[in-house]
Structure 1
Amino acid sequence: MSFAVFSYEALVHAVSGAMGSVTAMTVFFPLDTARLRLQVDEHRKAKSTPAILAEIIKEEGLSALYRGWFPVICSLCCSNFVYFYCFHSLKASWLKGKQSAPSTDLIIGIAAGVVNVLLTTPLWVVNTRLKLQGSKFRNADIRPTNYSGILDAFAQIIRDEGVGALWNGTFPSLLLVLNPAIQFMIYEGLKRHLKRGVPRELSSVEVFIIGAVAKAVATIVTYPLQTVQSILRFGQFSESTNEPKLLSSIRAIKCLLVNRVRKYGMLGLFKGLEAKLLQTVLTAALMFLLYENIASCTFRAMGLSSKHYKRR
């Protein structure tokens, strides 16, 4: 199998990762709804995840838990396809069959994350808007939106806010490439440790556990920036237009973080973390489990299982 950037192996990883993430996100989508409400609606009190879900159902109906599912799934599918493809193609090109190391996984993960952010941020901006549209907020300052779908959201954002608005939150997103990079570094490291040089497939329980551990660590480390990212994507925060975009983004991040600390203390930076951990850890664990099984079955069907597992 060629280690070229355009290879069947990278394509199998990309498709497997995209399918696994879409299935896992669909299963745990209501938890992501609760997390996003807590991050964006500052006046909503932080409660247990079941309490937040019960509030949403009572005020907006059961279907509100899955509001914005389609755009999120579209964004997630594209995002994970790009990330998995870049990660595995860059890793194969760099290592050329040699054993990887945690530092290598981290660097490759960051590079794959940067490519992913630049290509898919517009999709995430649109899906954040659609997911929160029609929600009952505690904060009266939040402006209501009226998008009829993904294409209409793109058209309205470009018309009313300019093309640049589709990349709102790009700077914190670029900083947040550390999240999947740390996640993959820990995941690949734990996988190598469990295999201890033996070319075998991990059990489903092993994959689920190390996927959960890897995502939990990455989420806790980067959560304050994830909150800022959600607020900026929602487009309700006014940034200065009289200074360069990068300087304005840095100032916006600093302002949002400082305001959170002043209003709610240091714990305010982690508002919604419980819901985020539940959603992201369970989703990541299930995603890795599905990804490994789909990739394994595909490689086995292609007659590449033995060579493939020696390299990983």
Structure 2
Amino acid sequence: MASVLSYESLVHAVAGAVGSVTAMTVFFPLDTARLRLQVDEKRKSKTTHMVLLEIIKEEGLLAPYRGWFPVISSLCCSNFVYFYTFNSLKAVWVKGQRATTGKDLVIGFVAGVVNVLLTTPLWVVNTRLKLQGAKFRNEDIVPTNYKGIIDAFHQIIRDEGVLALWNGTFPSLLLVFNPAIQFMFYEGLKRQLLKKRMQLSSLDVFIIGAVAKAVATTATYPMQTIQSILRFGRHRLNPENRTLGSLRNVLYLLHQRVKRFGIMGLYKGLEAKLLQTVLTAALMFLVYEKLTAATFTIMGLKRAAHKH
């Protein structure tokens, strides 16, 4: 129990949250482009920079940063929960033994499930806010009018029922493999490099963070597209296709997408997603490693994470 409530887990959680917020802010416009490419199927521009130029031209210079605050607050909570759970479980389970790739994958998976169930409502709201006021090419999309995070929660519960806040939960649970794969690769690569040298340079951390995220994103991207469509929830779908995103819905949406755009339709926006997530993850891990190391040094604690 002590290790679950430990100061060390808290440091990891805060450092993870700060790292992700810093990284996401830097690369936020890429995420805006990715979301438009996923949700607005009628958009002709295929490349990230063209979509961003279009958004700026039609909606103003600050449009790529629309919805920044709800995304950042969701991300902060989400990464705090993830890093806290991951490091607490690791402290309890690994306790004095050697960390292995298999254990990292299982711990990453459990941490991800906890994270999804707690933070999906925040992500549903921020997907809606991020797309509010966007000029869509697809006329099947119903526009929204939310005044902010609280108002969005209120309107969604009032108009669509409380369960709408967990739209896209099923693909999100499947997507738990994304951070689990990412952390497994990240921890594994880190262990391999630490065998060869005493400590990792900033560039090492940046590169292994980028590689881990690229593998995880490419493997799980089709599910992310479906998750965005379900979270947005403003397409005029049959009412039975609007509920939580059960397996039937996920398969239906995957099938529709392939039927209309071919197999590559599942990877629409992947270029923007890879650019954004790979750079964001690499920068996040860099800030996270530096911040935890600095905090433990200041507090005079030995860094348990380097005893892998």
Contact 1:3 1:89 in 2 (8 A): no
Which amino acid letter does the alignment assign opposite residue 223 of structure 2? L
**Number of equivalenced pairs:** 307
Contact 2:74 2:122 in 1 (8 A): yes
TM-score relative to the length of structure 2? 0.96
In the alignment, which residue of structure 2 is the partner of 1:222? 220
Q: 1:293 to 1:260 in 2, by over 3 A?
A: same
Whole-angstrom distance in 2 between the partners of 1:95 and 1:236:
44
| Alpha-carbon shift at residue 97 of structure 1 (Å) | 2.2
| Alpha-carbon shift at residue 277 of structure 1 (Å) | 0.3
In the alignment, which residue of structure 1 is the partner of 2:141? 142
Whole-angstrom distance in 1 between the partners of 2:162 and 2:273:
30
Report which stretch shifted further, 154-163 or 48-57.
48-57
TM-score relative to the length of structure 1? 0.95
| Alpha-carbon shift at residue 162 of structure 1 (Å) | 0.4
Q: C-alpha root-mean-square deviation of aligned residues, in Å?
A: 1.7
Report which stretch shifted further, 200-209 or 133-142.
200-209
Determine which of 266, 274, 281 is the counterpart of 1:284.
Answer: 281
Unaligned stretches of 5+ residues in structure 2: none
For residues 8-39 of structure 1, what are the alpha-carbon distances to aligned partners after superposition, in whole Å with 9 as ceiling and x for unaligned? Answer: 11000000000000000000000000000000
| Alpha-carbon shift at residue 242 of structure 1 (Å) | 9.7
Which amino acid letter does the alignment assign opposite residue 171 of structure 1? F
Q: 1:46 to 1:109 in 2, by over 3 A?
A: farther
In the alignment, which residue of structure 1 is the partner of 2:55? 56
Which amino acid letter does the alignment assign opposite residue 311 of structure 1? K
Q: Tell me if 1:14 matches 2:31.
A: no
Which amino acid letter does the alignment assign opposite residue 276 of structure 2? Q
In the alignment, which residue of structure 1 is the partner of 2:253? 256
Whole-angstrom distance in 2 between the partners of 1:156 and 1:191:
45
Equivalent residues in 2 for 1:263-282 (5 A)? 263-282=260-279
Contact 1:98 1:311 in 2 (8 A): no
Whole-angstrom distance in 2 between the partners of 1:114 and 1:309:
23
Contact 2:143 2:234 in 1 (8 A): no
Whole-angstrom distance in 2 between the partners of 1:265 and 1:3:
52
Unaligned stretches of 5+ residues in structure 1: none
Contact 1:46 1:271 in 2 (8 A): no
1:44 alignment partner, SS class: coil
| Alpha-carbon shift at residue 126 of structure 1 (Å) | 0.2
| Alpha-carbon shift at residue 46 of structure 1 (Å) | 4.5
Whole-angstrom distance in 2 between the partners of 1:301 and 1:31:
35
In the alignment, which residue of structure 2 is the partner of 1:107? 106
Q: Tell me if 1:308 matches 2:304.
A: yes
Whole-angstrom distance in 2 between the partners of 1:129 and 1:38:
15
Whole-angstrom distance in 2 between the partners of 1:233 and 1:308:
38
Determine which of 282, 290, 296 is the counterpart of 1:299.
Answer: 296
Q: 1:158 to 1:276 in 2, by over 3 A?
A: same
| Alpha-carbon shift at residue 241 of structure 1 (Å) | 3.9
Contact 1:24 1:287 in 2 (8 A): yes
Whole-angstrom distance in 1 between the partners of 2:80 and 2:154:
25
Determine which of 199, 202, 209 is the counterpart of 1:201.
Answer: 199
Whole-angstrom distance in 1 between the partners of 2:24 and 2:163:
28
Which amino acid letter does the alignment assign opposite residue 279 of structure 1? Q
Report which stretch shifted further, 138-147 or 2-11.
2-11
| Alpha-carbon shift at residue 236 of structure 1 (Å) | 2.3
Whole-angstrom distance in 1 between the partners of 2:167 and 2:262:
26
Whole-angstrom distance in 1 between the partners of 2:299 and 2:127:
39
Contact 1:239 1:252 in 2 (8 A): no
Contact 1:25 1:73 in 2 (8 A): yes
Which amino acid letter does the alignment assign opposite residue 115 of structure 2? N
Contact 2:241 2:249 in 1 (8 A): no
Which amino acid letter does the alignment assign opposite residue 151 of structure 1? I
| Alpha-carbon shift at residue 302 of structure 1 (Å) | 1.3
Which amino acid letter does the alignment assign opposite residue 11 of structure 1? L
| Alpha-carbon shift at residue 191 of structure 1 (Å) | 0.2
